[in-house]
Structure 1
Amino acid sequence: MYRFLLSRRWAVITLVALLLIPAMVRLGFWQLHRHEARVARNALIAHNLKAPPVAFDSLSTPGFTVPGDLTWRRVTAVGTYDTAHEFVIRGRTEPGGSSIGYFVVTPLVLADGRGSVLVNRGWVESGADATSYPVVAAPPAGRVTATGWMRADETTASSGIRDRGGLPDRQFKLIDSTKQAGRTGATVLGGYLELASSVPAAGDSPTLLAEPNHSDIGPHMAYAVQWWLFAALVPVGLVVLARREEKERAAALAAAAPVEELAAA
């Protein structure tokens, strides 16, 4: 019985199964680590969103790279909007929708003279002509207090968006404080402020972006459990397959026995 397990075919089947088990276990731990990272990220975002706002320029300086623990930190900036250097970011989705348009980014020159902060004032729809600058409502004039969330400069690696040139005037693909400083010659603090509210409030303004969803943990834990179940089922599958083949071989031998007896008679 089960001598067929010593065949080359079964040696290959067993080898493949033995390779699949650790691979599936590792995939399960990979999904577990993604789950843990998502939970930690959500906890950090929730903490930063609840924290009292602090001045943007107390955290950032020109060329500053916003670390992960400061992303979505509530911040404020006081100053005057520099509409002459306003620009838009192409190919961005409407909050809660599927329409593609632009983010409107306006530098806010700080009242304390430490430089300017890029403020993402929200989303506007694209017009019929993608080569023309979209219609954008002007921000409040005079001294403004902008409150929102600190965000890191966008890169191709972090966003998956390729930063290409040759775009119409004042239109870009990524929000990058360092590049904007190089284009304008102004002192720009690293990162940018994603606007939530302002005083005074703007009347007709771009659509503000919503705060991030920090309650969704994703399906990674379920995927981890699935991979581990698959790994556990591999040896069970081997046993079932071997027993089935043994029964088929036994049935074939039993069917051949009468024929051999008749031939002998």
Structure 2
Amino acid sequence: MYRFLLSRRWLITLLIALLLIPTTVRLGFWQLHRHEARVDRNELIARSLTDPPVPFDTLSAAPGFAVPKDLTWRTVTASGQYDPAHEFVVRKRTDSSGDKIGYFVVTPLVLADGAGTVLVNRGWVASGNSAIEYPAVPAAPAGQVTLTGRLRADEAAGGSIKDRAGLPDRQFNLISSTQQAKDTGAALLGGYLELTATQPAPADQPELLPEPNHSDIGPHMAYAIQWWLFTALIPVGFVVMARREAKDRRKEAAETEGLAVPVPA
């Protein structure tokens, strides 16, 4: 009764099912690995934000220094004086709500211990009336300041961030110590500080950037389970289809036999 499984149509169906099973299994593990990566990232951020602050220059080096992944978001401190002459803004950045487009304000801080200069992302400001004009930016505090912030790696061109030439004066698309060291000649340390607090506190300052979200694990585990459930349904579905086909064939055979029975005279 199941000899129809040797037909071309059913052999093709079986082949597709056999190909789908390892594919959906791999897709499930892909989502599982994404879940694990998200959990690791959240744990790294939570640990970095709660570790005792350390001086910025103990973790960084020359311009272009690649901040290790396990040091990203680490709470750091820095003391010195701002260098407003080399301040710049970074275009196409959103505020804490993610709804408004504006600029990040980045001001170099000359370290008091003479170890070099640190780029400080002081926060977000709204766009002005013209994209080619420098926006209204609260002045950096004068005199000696002590900062606390998060260690961040230089931004690289790629993805949604493009490094384009021909921008207005003191406007950039990236926060890059390499780029700024080349343009200004300053002895910059690699990476930058994302400001969270200033002592003494200024009367006016850009909108500080919020702490990164490290509680959301995303939907990847649910997606992994869905793929594996679909994997289990593939052979079940094939068996159900085959049994239904066999049942229909038996019914057709019985009806054919019934029509073939001779009627007595």
Q: TM-score range by the shorter chain?
A: over 0.9
> When the two structures are superposed, what TM-score results if normalisation uses the length of structure 1?
0.95
Task: Give the aligned partner of residue 49 of structure 2.
Answer: 49
Separation in 1, partners of 2:89, 2:184:
15
* 4+ long deviations beyond 4 Å: 262-265
Further displaced range: 221-230 or 191-200: 221-230
1:160 aligns with 2:155: no
Q: Which residue of 2 aligns with 1:70?
A: 71
Instruction: Find the aligned partners of 2:95 and 2:109 in 1 and give their Cα distance.
Output: 23
Report deviation, 1:117.
0.4
What is the aligned partner in structure 1 of residue 242 from structure 2?
A: 242
In structure 2, what is the Cα distance between the partners aligned to 1:30 and 1:97? Answer: 29
Per-residue CA deviation, residues 41-70 of structure 1 (Å, 9 max, x unaligned), is 111111110011110001111132101000
Gapped regions of structure 2 (runs ≥ 5): none
Deviation for aligned residue 1:263: 9.8
User: How far apart are the structure 2 equivalents of 1:209 and 1:107?
Assistant: 17
1:172 maps to: 172
Distance 1:136 1:262, change over 3 A: farther
Q: Secondary structure at the match of 1:190?
A: coil
Q: Cα deviation per residue 1:74-131 (whole Å; 9 max; x = unaligned)?
A: 0011111111111111111111231111111110011111211000000011012111
In the alignment, does 2:125 pair up with 1:139?
Answer: no
Structure-2 change in CA distance of 1:4 and 1:184 (3 Å) = same
Task: Describe how 1:103-142 pairs up with structure 2 within 5 A.
Answer: 103-142=104-143
Q: In the TM superposition, what is the alpha-carbon distance from 1:160 to its structure 2 partner? A: 3.3
Which deviates further from its counterpart, 3-12 or 254-263? Answer: 254-263
Distance 1:113 1:15 in 2: 69
CA distance in 2, matches of 1:128, 1:262: 95
1:167 shift after superposition: 1.1
After the TM superposition, which residues 1-265 of structure 1 pair with which residues of structure 2 at under 5 Å, given as runs? 1-63=1-63, 64-157=65-158, 160-261=160-261
Alpha carbons of structure 1 residues 54 and 263: separation in structure 2 relative to 1, 3 Å? farther
Letter of the structure 2 residue corresponding to residue 194 of structure 1: E
Amino-acid identity (%):
66
* SS of residue paired to 2:190: strand
Query: How far apart are residue 262 of structure 1 and its match?
Result: 6.1
Question: Which sections of structure 1, spanning at least 5 residues, go unmatched?
Answer: none
Go from structure 1 to structure 2 and tell me whether the alpha carbon gap of 1:264 and 1:151 turns closer, same or farther (over 3 Å shift): farther
Amino acid at match of 1:251: K
Comparing 219-228 with 249-258, greater Cα deviation is found at 249-258
| SS of equivalent to 1:189 | coil
Distance 2:257 2:121 in 1: 84
How many residues get paired?
264
Evaluate the alpha carbon distance shift between residue 263 and residue 161 of structure 1 in structure 2; reply closer, same or farther with a 3 A threshold: farther
Q: Report the 3-state secondary structure (helix = DSSP H, G, I; strand = E; otherwise coil) of the residue aligned with 1:98.
A: coil
Q: Which SS does the other structure have where 1:117 is aligned?
A: strand
Q: Secondary structure at the match of 2:98?
A: coil
Structure 2 CA distance for aligned equivalents of residues 88 and 240 of structure 1:
63
SS at match of 1:188: coil
Q: CA RMSD in A?
A: 1.6
One-letter code of the match for 2:86?
H
**1:196-221 C-alpha deviation (Å, 9 max, x unpaired):** 00011121211000111111111111
For residues 197-250 of structure 1, give each alpha carbon's deviation from its aligned partner in whole angstroms, at most 9, with x where no partner exists: 001112121100011111111111111111111111110010011111122222
| Distance 1:264-1:45 versus aligned 2 partners, 3 A rule | farther
Classify the secondary structure of the residue corresponding to 2:93: strand
Once the two structures are overlaid, the 10-residue window that deviates more, 59-68 or 182-191, is: 59-68
